[in-house]
Every structure is written in C-alpha cells, then in structure tokens.
Chain A
Amino acid sequence: MASRIEISVRREQPEALSVFHLLFLLCGQYSLLALAACLPALSYPAAWTQAIAGGVCTLLWGAARLKRRWASRVAAACALLWSAVWFLLWDTVRVQLVQAAAALSGAAAGAVPFTESACLFAVLLALSMFLLEIFLESHMIPYILISVATLAAPSFGAPPSMAAVVPGVLFQLSFWAVHEAGLRQGPSDFALQGRSRLTAHVGAVMGGILALSLLAAFPLAARDSDAVYAPVYEAEGALQRLLSHIGGFDAQPASGGVISRGNRYDSGTEHLVLTADRKPLEPIYLRGFSGGDYANGEWARANDEAVFAEMEEAWNGGTLEGDSVSLRVLASNVWPSLYYNLNRQTRRENPPEPLDLLIRQACGEYRTAYTPYYSRWNGGQEGGGYAWRLFEQRDMAVDWSCLSRHINANWYAWVQSAYQEQIQRDYTRVPDLPRLRALCQETPLEGREEITAFILHTLHSRASYSLTPGLTPGNAEIVEYFLFESGLGYCVHFASAATLLYRLYGIPARYAAGYVAWPEDFTPCEDGSFQAVLTDASAHAWTEIFVEDYGWSPVEVTPAAGGGGSAAAAPGLDGERLEALLSELQRTPPVHQEKAPSSGWKALGGSFPALRVRLRKLPRILGTGALCVLLLLAPLAWLLRRRRLCQWKTSSSREVFGRLLNMLRFAGLLDECDGEAADFPARLSHALPAISGEEGARLWRVVQAAAYGPETAAPEEDAFARRLWDRAVRAVRPGLRWWKRPLFRYVYG
C-alpha cells in the first residue's frame, strides 16, 4: 500500500556496563561453581575455581567498560590461552573426565581428583556467560543452565546449598528484570535515555524483592518443612495410585527384591485374605521373596535348590555314610517343612496344636506363594487359595533328644548341618559398600545378641521411619544413602541395611519381602474361624537370619512396623541380654554422627531452637546472611537517596549549610569548623578552591541572615546555596578514598 505508515525506533548505542552487570554475572557463575562444588564425587579446590572465574569475568567486564571492543579482544586472548592449556593438559583432563563420569554415574566410589579440569571449566564458564549475557544479550541459555543445574543437582547426590541457590536466583531474576526493562529485543524496541541507569535500578529493586521473599521464606521453611512437603507427597501419591489403578498394578501382590528409591503410597487395595482356625497370638510373616545376593540396590532371589546342589558337592560326595540317599534329594524333600516336622515330632507333655492357615489372593493369580515360617504345605483348596499348617514362634521347641521315632533324626540333622555350613558361605556375601563395611570394622562384635543389639541401635539412632523419605540420588548407593545421609526410610530400607550388617558380621541373613498379619488383623467369623484381610499397606520387608533348630527366622528391624523393634523376641536370642545391651547402647552415644540432617534448621548446621552452628559452615551461613542483608540494603539505600534528592530541591540555605559542614567534616577538610566564625568563607575557599571567597562570603551572609534575621532567605538565595553545594560535592568527591565514596554518595553527598 502506497500510503502505509511505518513506525520505527532507533536503537541507542550500547551503553557502558554498570557495576550491577558485573555483580550479577559474578553471582551467576558463583552459583554454578558452588553447585559443582556440592558434588561429592569430585575433589578440587572450589575456592580457586571461584577466584579464577571471578578474575576472568572481572577482566572482561573491565575491558568492556573501558571500550566494548577491547572486551572481545581480551575474550579472544583468553579463549586462545584456554585452548593452549587444554591442549597441554589434555591427557590429564581426559583421565579426569572419564573418572568423573564414572563417579557421577555411581559406577565408581570415592572422590575423583578434578583440579585441572575444574579450573579449565571455570574459565570456560566465565567466558561463555560473559559472551552470552553481554555480547549476545541472550539470557535464556544461562537462565536454563542455572535452573537445570540447581534442580538436577540433588539427583546427582549434590543437594544445593543456600550459598549456591541464592546467588543463582539473584542472577536469574535480576537479569530477567533487566532484560525486560531495557535490553529486550523485539519488533519495536524503544530508545530510552538513561536506559542503563533504569535497568540497574530495576535490577536492584528486583534483588530487594528477592531478599525480602527469602527472608520471609527462611523461617517458614525452617518452622515446618514437612507441612510444605505434604502436598507434594499427596499429589504424587494420588497420581501414582491413579496410574496403578489404571494399569491394574494395585491389585497385584507385592514381591520382589528391588529396593524402592522413592516414596511408598498405599492404596488400600485388598491383596490377601487369610483364614485361620484360631486367632494367632503372634504376627504371621508371609514370605513371598527371599533375597540372596545384593547389588546396586537390588536383591537377587535366593535359590535354595542351588544351595542344595552346592551342599551335595561340599558334603562327602553328597551321601550320608552308610546310607544311599542323596543329600540334594533329601534336602529338597525335607527342607521346606523340616522345622515344622521337628517341632511336631518333639514329644512333650502338652504338645502345641499347629495353626491352620488358608491364604487366598484377591487378584486370583497365584504366581507367588506366600510361605509362613515353621510351616508345612497343606495343599491347595477347591475354592482357590492354599493352606499351611504352622507353629507360631512361641510354640517352637525342638528337642533332638525327644524326637519321635517316626522320623529319621539323622537325616534332619544332616540336612541342617549341611545347609548351615553352605549358607555361611552363600548368605554372608556383601558387595563393595565402604561406609557400611567401615562401620562394622570400627565396631567389632561377636555374639548374636551383641550384633543384633548394635544393628538395631544403629538403625534406630541413625534413621527414622517414614513412608515418604523422598528420592534417592541416581548415583547413590541406596542402603548407604539411607543409613548415612537421608536417615529416612521404610521397611525395605531398614531390612536391607540390617541384612547387610548381619552379613558383614558373618551371620547368614536374607532380605525377605511379603506381608505381615498382626493378631489384631484377625476378626472372628460365624463358622468359628478368624479372617484377616491384608491390603497393600500390610506389605512388608524384614530380615531373616538362620537360627539353629528354628531355621530361617524373621527379625523385625523396622521401628514403626515392629513397634520400636521386636527383635528381642526373635528365636534363639537371649531376650533379656538383648534388652540390656540395647539399653546400654542407648545410653552411650554412637561414635558416628555423620547422618545428614533431613530438613529445616538442621540443614543449616543445628537444631531449632538450640541452633548448633558448625564452625566449618559458619562462613557460608554468614556469607549468605550478608548477601541477603546487602540485597535488602541496596534498594533501600537507593530509595532513601532518591527521596533525599527530591527533598533537596526545596531545601533552605540553612539546611544546605548544615549539610555542607557535615560533608566537609566527613571529607576531613574542615574538621574543627562550626561555621559561625567570620573566617569561614576564607577557610572554605582554602579547602575547596573551586569555590571563591566571594561565593563563600555570600553563602555565610545568607545563612547568618536566615538564622538570626527576621525573615527567611529569599528563594533565589536558597537556590544559590544549593548550586554552591552541588559544586562543592563535585569538588570533594574525586579526592575521597574509595571506601569513603559509597558512604559519601548515599549519606553525605
């Protein structure tokens, strides 16, 4: 169209970089480097990398402030130098990178030396951020980088510290605000006089808003962080339940050896229906899974048949002297109900009656059979389900000397001894878990009671029961993370840790998963039987240890599930001695207290209200606090100065004179002058050559007349005094020391 109206704006030449730009940039790269320093897998002098990156950034900023063109040359020189160093150190850096990758992925344990690579990355970071933010004015990439680094750090086992989070957010918000205010590119940008001043002020006020919000957030987060997390867990639980319901997973019974790395959310779906001919007096553990070898947070299913095969090989060719029966065949047949039969065949005055238990699975699928301890298979049922006859633990009292003649005691003894020898080899294997191993090595113990007491005490003092312990970092060993860092977990974590500790002490132990039915779960039915409906909330994990004459027996180590630990009731243990040992241990604080605090003020180094500040964290805490105060004070100072400047336009000559005297005293020019003496004009002129003696005399006369005369000074005389003040400020400011200038600017000037 010929008459189309075009509207355009002209972009101003980029203005000189302000100090705010440097501060924001330093905050951004400090945040990223502080996040990297939180990675326990890397070992390098973090302070040095901060210093190097800060130096490079300041160098570039200084060059750009003098002349923007110089910054590109300095950046190019730095890049060349960086490339040369990279080339020279390539072999070292390559090895470090490979080792770091392995450590970060959890494939390797321990901290990797990373000094050279960290320094190179610090320089690269400084160059990249300066290039992106100042030259390309592209804020999005650093913004995303810091956001991703902050949010992803916990999944690498590096929970971000406040010292890393606060500068990062300051950088993000300030640069975001600055870009919105002035640097934003668009189809119709604007040309604004004093743009950099405006953007700097906007950035400063944004920093103040952040500081205000953080100061309000700290006490809220510290007061009750669990209340803050609760909606998250509820939301995730609801989502997980919904997905399980849609996928049909919620009705399937739990069994497996994978240790969960997240929260546990129960849906209340029925899994098992138990029917007993009488009400049990003890909890009934229904084992669906027994864990053998452990690796990478997962238990492999224990294979008794393999154990029997190994037993046969290890035991005199697999046959009993004078007998032709194979040990393997014998064990396969006898072992599943060995201890039930032994107990049943033990003669006594009042032989206990076994409990008949019928198990029906709600989903109708019977891929996993849940086995009670000290039981015997009693066959499948027509209406679905399967039955067991079992003894409760209290009824177990095997006495080899009183065995019935109906069973061959030699065979049973043979199987037990062979099995016991074999599992001593098979179920005491532990992978490389340095911290767990060190814990056991530092506390050498013997005796089942001592070991059990120590394990219970360790677990209960270091960890708390929670169905929502949160996520475990992807590269962390889950049992060690549970015991030494998070300190939160539920049955699978407690059972896994206890099993491994038992094994480290040489006691054969297995991880077991299934369901537990408590006596109170059973309700009477019309036909005289008792029924218990087990939901997914009854799914449980525990440790089983091998006890002579009992076989595999459950040891409850989970605090909540066991009501504070019922291991004292475990078979084969001296209950009184165990209780005494536990009491003794509880009175003695454990040697190790490295458990990471979970939340709240504990994360800052202590507990509220008795805040125990750790000295090594003091600089970080003080630095964060100082940063917050600075962020709050900077906009406040700016606002006060602005208000003062507004008021200044209507100040009287007397007010100006008073301020002039204060300013000159602050600058050390007229220390002992009160302005009353008649030689004031001469002294003023002497101190400030920019102000002539006549001007000084006129000011003095005006002020004297205003102070002692009948009328106030005329407006033009007030204006003269203010003009004189302006000149005095300009004359005084260059001669001040650098540390006096901020105070001069915001207070006296």
Chain B
Amino acid sequence: MIRQLTYLTLAALTWYLAGMYRSFPLTALFLAEIGIFILLALQALYFHATLEAGFSSEWVVGEKGRDCRCRMYLREKGLFPIGRVRLTLRLSYGDGRQKAIRHIYGGAEGRRGTELEFFVSPACCGAVCVELLQVRVYDYLSLFSFGRRGKERMTLAVLPPARPLRIVRVQEAGAERTGGGELPALFSAEASPETREVREYRPGDAARSIHWKQSARTGALWSREYEGEADRLFSLALDFSGGEAFPAERWDAFYEVLSALVLGLLEHAAAVRVRWRDGERMLFQDVRGESDRRELFPRLYRRTPCYISAHSRRDVSHLSGADWPAMPETGRSGDSGADWSGADFADFTLDAALCWRRGSELLYRFSPNQFSIEREQGIFYI
C-alpha cells in the first residue's frame, strides 16, 4: 500500500507540474505512469494465475549442527518472467512449541521452472515439518501482489551427528577398565577376542582396530579383524512409551544417545539391529555403517510422536502409516519376524527416559542435558 501511494504521489506530482508548466513531456510521462500502473496491476494478476510453487522433494535428510539444504521450485506457465515471489514457510518440530515462520524471495522464468535453494539450521534432531503457507507473487515494481495459500509440505529429517559412544569390551580393555573415572563402568564377562587376520585398512574401520605397529612399519594403514567380530550382531530395542508428550529438545537427546550408542556398538560388531514397535508391528533396521544409520533415523522419525503430531494437524490420514513418503529400502530392514540366528546375540534396550538396559538390568541412565559430556568423557564397558 505504501508503495502504491508513493507511486501515485509521484504520478500526481508529475501531473501537477505538467499542468503548472504545461510541459508536454511531463504530461506524456504522467499518462505513461498511469498506464504502467494499470498494466502492472494486470501483470500481478496474470502472474498469480500462471505461477506454480512447491518443494522439489518430500524428504530431505540433514544433520544436526550443519546447514540442511532444501530446494523449492517455481514454475511459470505464462510468457513473462516473474521478478519476485515471496514464499512463506512454517518450520516446526510438531510439538507445537518450536516453530518458525520465514519468508523466501525468488523469481521464476520458464516452464521448466527455477529452483530456489535455502538452508535450514535446526538445533534439534528429529523430523522438521516445512510447510508452504503462502505464495505471494508481485509485479515488477512490487506495487501489487496477490497471494494464495500453499498446500505443499516437506519433511526435513535431521540426523544426530555421527559421534560414537566409547564402548569397550572388557576382554579388550584389560587393566584399563579402571580408567572409566567416576562414570559407572559396565562389564560383560565375555571371552577375550583374538585377532583372526590383519588386512588393509578400509574406510569405516574403527580406530581401535588399526594395527599401529604394522602400519608404522609399512607406512600404510592396516586393520586387525578379531575372531568372531565379523559375524557379531547386537540387538537394540527401542521403547518409546512415555515419550509422547516430550518436547523436541528431549527427543533430540534420545536420538543423540541412540546414534552414539549404535555407532559405539558398531565398533564391536558387524551390525546393530535396531528394533522398535510401530503400532501392532515390530520393525527393525540393521545398521552396518553410515548409510544404514542415515536410513534408520528417517524411519524412526516417521513413527515418533513428534512427526505424527506434525503431520496430523491437518490430515489425520497420515496416521495410518500407509501414505508415508517412500524411503529407500535396502533389504536390511523389515518386520521382527526376520531371522535372528547366526548372530552373537546381545540384547539391549533404550527407552524414552534414556535408560540403557541389558535385559531388565539398567546399564546406564543418560542425562538429557549432560549427554554431550557423558559421551565425550565416559567410557562404557560391556
């Protein structure tokens, strides 16, 4: 409105001076200004009818603490390029408390569309629901604008950072066990592993498995492979009960613990089978490396209360689970009826209260606020 008034004031001043000085150029200028004003109003209306906007993908995976790249598309079906479009986005974790409304400006040209790129820096792990609230299109001078409600939405799966928990098996730790400091140490009376073979280092090998002496002698990294480790599979059951009302910060702590725990366990096993209940079904995901981990958390986010509440505000059909956005399946996930045999079985549980259990025995209870310190300083023995 202010722009329109400014423009019209300028036109009126031109008109006044044209009349007062009887200037033909100023008269023509005034009439042209009025013509432009009308044309721009029509132009905004035209753009409003010919613009399409939406997210380039329904899922985007990012990592906590890093900028998560998101993309939107603007498609113009008409003849003229669109100079300015304002997209109003609402970002929320779904707990109703943490949400942000932001505007993104862009332009569109051509039927093939233009991609807009923006970066989200979420402070918590979890599913961030990005909704397109409004698309507002402007004429070239931004005098007129027409907006419409957006219907598109996208989920940003924010993964916890890949920082493993320092877990030490008692047989490997030996006398160092006492070095756990004040933190409670866990103990598992398993047999000491023996080196089965020494092979060249492969990316993803744990640091503890590096054969430093051999590496120093040869000038290349070598890894030790322990007896039985290649076949070992830990099982970690997740219990979400009681966490329905947790805020995003609390779920952030849960996912951080889970990630660290899985990565820590992976140091001692070929895979960690994470199991959880989704309604009546028991689902699992075998995690063997980073790619599995990146699959695990989006799957978990789909069933967590945060995600459900975020997506159920407007459309309850999302609760059925049948309309989840498709995620790549690797064959290492499925229902709980899968084959568990042939694995070095050690069953752990992590519940929403951040209690890590082996069977019914409480191994450790992580603190939601102090977890980063616990992870950095603690050594956990199993």
Question: CB within 8 Å of B: which residues of A?
Answer: 1-10, 147, 150-151, 154-155, 159-162, 164-165, 169, 173, 176-177, 180-182, 184, 186-195, 197-199, 201-202, 205-206, 209-210, 212-214, 216-218, 220-222, 225, 228-229, 232-233, 236, 262-263, 469-471, 473, 486, 488, 598-600, 602-604, 639, 642, 646
Residue of A nearest to B252 (CB): A3
Q: Write out the residue numbers on chain A whose beta carbons fall within 8 Å of the beta carbon of B17.
A: 151, 154
Contact, CB under 8 Å: A7 / B27: no
Report 14 cross-chain contacts, Cβ distance below 8 Å, ordered by A residue: A3-B252, A4-B98, A5-B100, A7-B91, A8-B120, A10-B119, A180-B142, A190-B105, A212-B39, A213-B35, A228-B19, A262-B20, A639-B80, A642-B110
Contact of B100 among A4, A189, A198 (CB under 8 A): A4
Q: How far is the CB of B187 from chain A (nearest CB, A)?
A: 35
Contact, CB under 8 Å: A188 / B102: yes
Q: How far is the CB of B173 from chain A (nearest CB, A)?
A: 35
Stretch from B122-130, B223-231, B270-278 at the A interface: B122-130
CA distance A198 to B107 in the complex (A): 8
Q: Write out the residue numbers on chain A whose beta carbons fall within 8 Å of the beta carbon of B252.
A: 3
Contact, CB under 8 Å: B26 / A160: yes
Instruction: Tell whether A190 pairs with B104 under 8 Å between CB atoms, given A8-B121, A209-B39, A598-B22.
Output: yes
Contact, CB under 8 Å: B105 / A233: no
Stretch from B81-89, B295-303, B309-317 at the A interface: B81-89
Is B362 located at the chain interface by the 8 A CB criterion? no
CA distance A734 to B307 in the complex (A): 57
Per-position contact with A for B2-36: 1 when CB-CB < 8 Å, else 0?
00000000100111111111111111111111011
Is B249 located at the chain interface by the 8 A CB criterion? yes
Instruction: Tell whether A159 pairs with B106 under 8 Å between CB atoms, given A3-B98, A192-B114.
Output: no
Closest 9 CB pairs of A and B: A181-B83, A213-B35, A232-B19, A217-B31, A603-B24, A229-B19, A154-B21, A177-B140, A213-B32
Residue of A nearest to B13 (CB): A151
Q: Write out the residue numbers on chain A whose beta carbons fall within 8 Å of the beta carbon of B374.
A: none
Q: Write out the residue numbers on chain B whose beta carbons fall within 8 Å of the beta carbon of A604.
A: 24
Contact, CB under 8 Å: A216 / B124: no
CA distance A209 to B80 in the complex (A): 12
Instruction: Tell whether A470 pairs with B140 under 8 Å between CB atoms, given A4-B123, A162-B28, A169-B32.
Output: no
Q: Write out the residue numbers on chain A whose beta carbons fall within 8 Å of the beta carbon of B114.
A: 192-194, 198
CA distance A201 to B32 in the complex (A): 21
Instruction: Tell whether A228 pairs with B27 under 8 Å between CB atoms, given A10-B119, A184-B105, A194-B114.
Output: yes
List 19 other contacts, CB 8 Å, given A4-B123, A5-B121, A209-B40: A7-B104, A7-B118, A7-B121, A10-B117, A154-B20, A154-B26, A186-B105, A201-B109, A202-B140, A205-B80, A210-B36, A212-B39, A216-B32, A217-B27, A218-B28, A222-B24, A603-B23, A604-B24, A646-B111
CA distance A251 to B117 in the complex (A): 69
Contact, CB under 8 Å: B118 / A9: yes
Contact of B249 among A2, A218, A232, A603 (CB under 8 A): A2
Contact of B10 among A10, A147, A228 (CB under 8 A): A147
Is B49 located at the chain interface by the 8 A CB criterion? no
Is B154 located at the chain interface by the 8 A CB criterion? no
Q: How far is the CB of B310 from chain A (nearest CB, A)?
A: 12
CA distance A2 to B18 in the complex (A): 60
Contact, CB under 8 Å: A177 / B141: yes
CA distance A187 to B21 in the complex (A): 43
Residue of A nearest to B87 (CB): A190
Q: Write out the residue numbers on chain A whose beta carbons fall within 8 Å of the beta carbon of B248.
A: 3
Is B79 located at the chain interface by the 8 A CB criterion? yes
CA distance A9 to B19 in the complex (A): 48
Q: Write out the residue numbers on chain A whose beta carbons fall within 8 Å of the beta carbon of B344.
A: none
Q: Write out the residue numbers on chain A whose beta carbons fall within 8 Å of the beta carbon of B61.
A: none
Q: How far is the CB of A327 from chain B (nearest CB, A)?
A: 50
Q: How far is the CB of A13 from chain B (nearest CB, A)?
A: 14
Contact, CB under 8 Å: B35 / A3: no
Residue of A nearest to B140 (CB): A177
Q: How far is the CB of A379 from chain B (nearest CB, A)?
A: 47
Is B381 located at the chain interface by the 8 A CB criterion? no
Q: How far is the CB of B51 from chain A (nearest CB, A)?
A: 14
Is B255 located at the chain interface by the 8 A CB criterion? no
Residue of A nearest to B84 (CB): A180
CA distance A165 to B29 in the complex (A): 7
Contact, CB under 8 Å: A225 / B24: yes
Contact, CB under 8 Å: B104 / A188: yes
Q: Write out the residue numbers on chain A whose beta carbons fall within 8 Å of the beta carbon of B39.
A: 209, 212-213
Is B115 located at the chain interface by the 8 A CB criterion? yes
Contact, CB under 8 Å: A202 / B79: no
Contact of A173 among B36, B104, B124 (CB under 8 A): B36
Q: How far is the CB of B309 from chain A (nearest CB, A)?
A: 15
Contact, CB under 8 Å: B120 / A6: yes
Q: Write out the residue numbers on chain A whose beta carbons fall within 8 Å of the beta carbon of B98.
A: 1, 3-5
Contact, CB under 8 Å: B140 / A206: yes
Is B67 located at the chain interface by the 8 A CB criterion? yes
Q: How far is the CB of A206 from chain B (nearest CB, A)?
A: 5
CA distance A206 to B116 in the complex (A): 23
Contact of A2 among B22, B118, B124 (CB under 8 A): B124
Instruction: Tell whether A470 pairs with B22 under 8 Å between CB atoms, given A2-B124, A7-B89.
Output: yes
Between B28, B81, B100, the greatest number of chain A beta carbons within 10 A of the residue's beta carbon is seen for B28
Contact, CB under 8 Å: A471 / B20: yes
Q: Write out the residue numbers on chain B whose beta carbons fall within 8 Å of the beta carbon of A209.
A: 36, 39-40, 43, 140
CA distance A220 to B123 in the complex (A): 61
Residue of A nearest to B81 (CB): A201
Q: Write out the residue numbers on chain B whose beta carbons fall within 8 Å of the beta carbon of A9.
A: 104, 117-119
Contact, CB under 8 Å: A221 / B28: yes
CA distance A182 to B32 in the complex (A): 25
Q: How far is the CB of A234 from chain B (nearest CB, A)?
A: 10
Contact, CB under 8 Å: A600 / B123: no
Q: Write out the residue numbers on chain A whose beta carbons fall within 8 Å of the beta carbon of B43.
A: 209
CA distance A189 to B93 in the complex (A): 24
Q: Write out the residue numbers on chain B whose beta carbons fall within 8 Å of the beta carbon of A603.
A: 23-25
Residue of A nearest to B80 (CB): A205
Residue of A nearest to B95 (CB): A3
CA distance A603 to B26 in the complex (A): 11
Q: Write out the residue numbers on chain A whose beta carbons fall within 8 Å of the beta carbon of B100.
A: 4-7
Instruction: Tell whether A176 pairs with B14 under 8 Å between CB atoms, given A7-B119, A210-B32.
Output: no
Per-position contact with A for B64-102: 1 when CB-CB < 8 Å, else 0?
000100000000000111011000010111000011101
Is B234 located at the chain interface by the 8 A CB criterion? no
Q: Write out the residue numbers on chain A whose beta carbons fall within 8 Å of the beta carbon of B116.
A: 190-192
Is B103 located at the chain interface by the 8 A CB criterion? yes
Residue of A nearest to B142 (CB): A180
Residue of A nearest to B122 (CB): A5
CA distance A129 to B224 in the complex (A): 69
Instruction: Tell whether A5 pairs with B141 under 8 Å between CB atoms, given A262-B20, A486-B22.
Output: no
Is B138 located at the chain interface by the 8 A CB criterion? yes
Contact, CB under 8 Å: A159 / B21: yes
Q: How far is the CB of B120 from chain A (nearest CB, A)?
A: 5
CA distance A475 to B67 in the complex (A): 62
Instruction: Tell whether A3 pairs with B24 under 8 Å between CB atoms, given A184-B105, A232-B19.
Output: no
Residue of A nearest to B125 (CB): A3
Instruction: Tell whether A214 pairs with B28 under 8 Å between CB atoms, given A7-B91, A151-B13.
Output: yes
Instruction: Tell whether A599 pairs with B24 under 8 Å between CB atoms, given A182-B107, A213-B32, A229-B18.
Output: yes
Contact, CB under 8 Å: B103 / A188: yes
Q: Write out the residue numbers on chain B whose beta carbons fall within 8 Å of the beta carbon of A218.
A: 28
Contact, CB under 8 Å: B25 / A470: no
Q: How far is the CB of B157 from chain A (nearest CB, A)?
A: 14
Q: Write out the residue numbers on chain A whose beta carbons fall within 8 Å of the beta carbon of B122.
A: 3, 5-6
Q: Write out the residue numbers on chain A whose beta carbons fall within 8 Å of the beta carbon of B20.
A: 154, 232, 262-263, 470-471
Contact of A225 among B10, B22, B67, B124 (CB under 8 A): B22
Contact, CB under 8 Å: A7 / B22: no
Q: Write out the residue numbers on chain B whose beta carbons fall within 8 Å of the beta carbon of A602.
A: 24
Instruction: Tell whether A228 pairs with B119 under 8 Å between CB atoms, given A7-B102, A202-B83.
Output: no
Instruction: Tell whether A213 pairs with B105 under 8 Å between CB atoms, given A4-B100, A165-B29, A603-B25.
Output: no
